Amino acid sequence: MSSRDQAPSQPRPRSREKAQAPGADRPIGVFDSGIGGLTVVRALMERLPYENIVYFGDTARVPYGVKSVETIAHFTSQIAQFLLEKDVKLLVIACNTMAAVAAQEVKDLSPVPVLDVIDAGAVSARGGKKIGVIGTPTTINSNAYARAIHDYAPDSRIHSQACALFVPLVEEGWLDHEVTRLTAQDYLRPLMAEHIDTLVLGCTHYPLLKPLLRQVVGDDVALVDSAEAMAEQVAAVLAEKHLANPSHAQPRYDFYVTDVPLRFQTIGERFLGRTLNNVHVVQW
């Protein structure tokens, strides 16, 4: 394991609570185009075990990664408004595709802080010199990762690759399947030819492919998982703004989806690594 792979964070119980800002007991709002963002929720649950979370997954309209910028921006604003009405204290754009094309829209409409996975991933990748980025076609075409990484590491060279088939392969549960391995080898060949030292997993579904991708790229390439990086950024913002939940009671987790697809429970629990309760369907 490379030193830049993030080790799983342990829950850190806080010692004595300092005075928190009003409304610190409100939930964190997390959203994604579907259930892939549950990888971010999982990282948040592990890193911040006392925080209440409201998750929104647009399961009726997923995938976003092949839709137009205008459509994605419209859907993104709609979801952000929904979560703000749930009185969240922080918004986390867990979807790389939404972050790539609509992060500014969300920041413009939100009275609470907004964090996005692309910025979190870029911060984690900044130690790399030759950085590979993989994501959906919309994310890669937006060039958002290259811009964000260059903000933190201006001298790095970025090599990007759209991996359109990874999302359906993960949804199918083919995490260690020969078809997925061959697909990954094909997608990653151009990046490996550039001798990348870092690979950014620029889509919420990709952390589930980490073991397979590790086999394909070998041990010398650091894998940047934006879910873990995101959880660290959320912890930092909550601490800085005195917004950490002062209650240490069992937190509440609510999951809003626009459809309950076949196998939703199985796939969702795989993303989350635990039982999926409190699922509510929103009719839009």
Exactly one of 55, 56, 64, 253 binds ligand DGL (CB under 6 A); that residue is: 64
Nearest to 26 by CA among 203, 174, 243: 243
Pick 27 or 63: Cβ nearer ligand DGL: 63
Fill in the amino acid letter for 228.
E
In the set 28, 40, 79, 95, the catalytic residue is 95
CB 194 within 8 A of CB 130: yes
95 binds ligand DGL (CB under 6 A): yes
96 binds ligand DGL (CB under 6 A): yes
Active-site residue (options: 48, 79, 203, 234): 203
Least distance in angstroms from the C-beta of 194 to ligand DGL: 22
Nearest to 47 by CA among 278, 257, 251: 251
Q: Residue 224's beta-bridge partner residues? A: 200
Binding ligand DGL (rule: CB under 6 A), the pick from 41, 45, 53, 63 is 63
CA distance 279 to 149: 36
Q: Which two tokens stand for residue 227?
A: 């879910």
Contact window for ligand DGL (CB under 6 A) among 28-36, 147-155, 245-253, 258-266: 28-36
The reply on whether position 89 binds ligand DGL by CB under 6 A is no
* Residue range at the interface with ligand DGL (CB under 6 A); choices 89-97, 149-157, 183-191, 242-250: 89-97
Strand partners, 253: 53
Q: How many residues sit in the footprint of ligand DGL (CB under 6 A)?
A: 18
Q: Is 36 in the site for ligand DGL (CB under 6 A)?
A: yes
The answer for residues whose C-beta is within 8 angstroms of residue 182's C-beta and 6 or more apart is: none
Chosen residue from 90, 205, 213, 271 binding ligand DGL by CB under 6 A: 205
State yes or no: cis peptide before 111, omega within 30 of 0. no
Q: Kindly state the helix (H) or strand (E) to which residue 53 belongs, with its residue range.
A: strand 53-57
Q: Which amino acid is at 191?
A: L
- DSSP letter at 154 equals T
* Angle subtended by helix axes 264-272 and 38-47, to nearest 10: 40
Specify the residue, 127 or 137, whose C-beta has the smaller distance to ligand DGL: 137
Q: How many CB atoms lie within 10 A of CB 2?
A: 13
**By CB under 6 A, is residue 62 in contact with ligand DGL?**
yes
One of 6, 39, 110, 139 touching ligand DGL (CB under 6 A): 139
Least distance (Å) from ligand DGL to the CB of residue 205? 6
**Which one of 77-85, 121-129, 173-181, 202-210 is the stretch in contact with ligand DGL (CB under 6 A)?**
202-210
- What are the backbone dihedrals phi and psi of residue 80, each rounded to the nearest 5 degrees, phi first? -60, -45
Catalytic (active site) residue 203:
yes
Q: Does 258 bind ligand DGL (CB under 6 A)?
A: no
Contacts with ligand DGL, residue ranges (CB under 6 A): 32-34, 36, 62-65, 95-97, 135-136, 139, 167, 203-205
Any idea which residues carry the catalytic annotation? 95, 203
